[in-house]
Chains A and B, each alone.
Chain A
Amino acid sequence: MPDKIEIQNLSRSYSKKGGKSERFYALKDFSLTVRQGEFVTIVGPSGCGKSTLLDLLIGLAKPDEGRVLIDGKPIGGPSLDRGIVLQGYALFPWRTVRGNIEFGLEVKGIPKASRREMSDYYIKLVDLVGFENHYPYELSGGMQQRTAIARILAYDPAILMMDEPFAAVDAQTREVMQDELLSIWEKTGKTVIFVTHSIEEAVGLADRVAVMSRSPGQVKEIVDINLPRPRRVGTIRNTPEFVALFHRVWELLRNAEQSGGKDDGGIAGVSGRIHPAAVI
C-alpha cells in the first residue's frame, strides 16, 4: 500500500504562561508515516500532544515546523478529505441527529433530497433509526457518539481521525462500537488515526500502535500488531498474542511516564487503568 499520510518533523509550541519568550513544546519533531487504508492508534500519557497532533493533521492549527503530506501533497486548511471526531463529540445542540449528520454534506453542496438519502443510510448504519429527529440532549452518551461518527462518515472522507471517541461510553457499548468501527473500516478501506487512553482498545483495533512520550511529545516507539483480521475485539483479547502485545505497550507507556518531564497530570494517562494481569 502507498503512503497516505507523511508526518515530517512536526513541532508545535505554545507560549508559556508568565515567561513571554519562553515556549512550551506540546509536540516536537514528530514523524510518522501512515499507509493507505491503515488503522493506526496513538497512545501516550495525558498532555503528550495527541489532540494537538490531530489538530495539525486536520488543519485546524498550523505547525511551527515540519509538514504534513497527504498523497504526497502538503495540506492547507481543513478539507473534506479528512474528518475528525473531536474529543467530546461537539454535536450541534440545535440540530437533530439528521441535521448533524447532514452538516458536512451541506458544506459539500449536496442538494437536499440526496442529503436526506445519504443521512438515512448512515442513520441505519450506526443504528439510530427512530432517533433521527431527536436533539443531542435527548440522546444517551453512546448515541451521541454514534451521531458524531455518522456525521464524519456521511461526507465520506478518505482519512478518519478520532480523539478518544469511546471514552465516555460503558464497556458493553464500547465493544459494540469498536466492532462496528472495524467493520466500517474493513468495508470502506479508509485510513484511520485513532487516539485512545485504553491500551486494550489500541491493541485490539490497530495495525500499528504509536506510543508517544511526553515533554516533548514524540513517537517513542511503534508496535506492529500482527493479529489476524477480520477481528472482533471481544474474542481477540483472550489470545496469548494479544496479551503479549498488551504487555509490551503497557511497558512502553510506563517508561514514557517515568521518563516524562515534570509537567503535572502525566500519571492520569495509564495509572489506575487495568494492569495486564487483570486481562490474562
Chain B
Amino acid sequence: MNAKIKRVVISAIPIIAFFALWEFGARFAPKGSLKPPTSVIPATLSALFSKKERLGYQTLVSMGRIGAGFGLAAAVGNTLGFLLGTYFKRLERWLLPFFRVCEKLNPFALIPIFMIFFGIDTKEKVALVFWVCLWPILTTTQEAAKSVDVSLVRAARSMGANRFKVFRSVIFPFVLPSVFTGLKLGARVAFFMIVAAETYGSSSGLGWYYMRKNALYNLNLLYGSVLYITLLAILLNYVFTRLEKRFLTWKTAAFR
C-alpha cells in the first residue's frame, strides 16, 4: 500500500511540474498567446456546466458519435475477425492484402471523400469513426483467432465437444483478451478521429467547439478544451485497459 502511494506521488511530480511551468511561462509569454492554468481550468469547468457554453452537451454529442461508430465497428470487426480467423482461413488469405491497404489509407485524407458520400453531419462522423476503429479491432481479433492453441481444441474435441461447444468454450475464451486489446486500440483512434472530423464541416461536437474557440480567440477555452479532450481520452483508455487486464490475467500468466 505504501509503495503504491509512493508510486502515485512520484508519477505525479512531472505532471505538477508541467502545470507549474505552464503557470510560470504564461506570465512571460507575449500577450495573447498563452493563458495560465489558473485561469484556463476554472473557465473550462464553468463552461462544462454553463447553459451558454454547453461544453457538457458537446461532449455528449461527440461521445454519441464515437459510441455509434465504435459500437458498429466492434460488432462488425469482431464478428468478421472471428469468422475469418477460424472457419474461413482461405477467404482470409485472399482478403488480407486488401485489408492491409484499407488499414493504411490515411483516415484524415478520407474526410472529404466521406463527406461526399455521407453528407456533412452525424452520419459522416459516425462513418469515419467506424472506419478507423474497424481495422485495429478486426486485425487483432483475427490474429488471435488464428493463433488458437490447437492442443486445446484437440482436448475439447477428444471429450466429445461439438463445433459449437469448441467455439464457446475454447475459441471464444482464447480470443476474448485480444478482443479487449482491439477495442482499446479502436477507442484510441476513435477519439483522435472524432476531434479531427468535427473540425471540418460541423456545427457541434468537441472538435467544432475547439475550432470555434479558436475563431473567437477565446484563449482560456481554447487551451481548456485541449486539456479537457486529453483528459477524456485518458479516461476512456483507462477503462479499456482495466477491462483488458481483467480478461488477460490467465493469458499473461499462462504464457509468460
Contacts and interface: CB of A to CB of B under 8 A. Distances in A.
B234 to A, nearest CB: 29
Interface of B is mostly: helix
Contact of B160 (A79, A88, A92): A79
Nearest to B170: A92
Nearest to A104: B159
A261 to B, nearest CB: 27
Interface string B224-256: 000000000000000000000000001101101
B161 interface: yes
Interface in A58-83: 58-60, 77-80, 82-83
Interface residues of A, number: 29
A90 interface: yes
Contact of B154 (A86, A92, A103, A107): A86
B161 A107 contact: yes
Contacts of A138: 253
Given A103-B169, A135-B250, A137-B254, A90 B155 contact: yes
B156 interface: yes
Given A83-B159, A106-B169, A137 B154 contact: no
A234 interface: no
Contact of B156 (A80, A94, A103, A136): A103
B159 A137 contact: no
Contacts of B161: 103, 107
B158 A84 contact: yes
Given A60-B154, A107-B165, A137-B253, A92 B173 contact: yes
B152 interface: yes
Nearest to B256: A137
A136 B254 contact: yes
A111 B26 CA distance: 69
A59 B161 CA distance: 12
A55 to B, nearest CB: 8
Contacts of A136: 254
A52 to B, nearest CB: 13
A244 B173 CA distance: 51
A242 to B, nearest CB: 33
Contact of A93 (B154, B160, B251): B251
A203 to B, nearest CB: 27
Contacts of B151: 86, 88, 90
A122 interface: no
A147 to B, nearest CB: 12
A93 B165 contact: no
Interface of A: 58-60, 77-80, 82-84, 86, 88, 90-94, 103-104, 106-108, 135-138, 151-152, 155
22 contacts: A59-B158, A60-B157, A78-B157, A78-B158, A78-B159, A78-B160, A79-B160, A83-B158, A86-B155, A88-B151, A90-B152, A90-B155, A92-B155, A92-B173, A93-B250, A93-B253, A93-B254, A94-B250, A94-B251, A103-B159, A135-B254, A137-B253
Given A60-B158, A106-B165, A137-B256, 15 more contacts: A58-B158, A78-B160, A82-B158, A86-B151, A86-B154, A86-B158, A91-B155, A92-B170, A93-B251, A94-B173, A94-B174, A94-B251, A108-B160, A151-B159, A152-B159
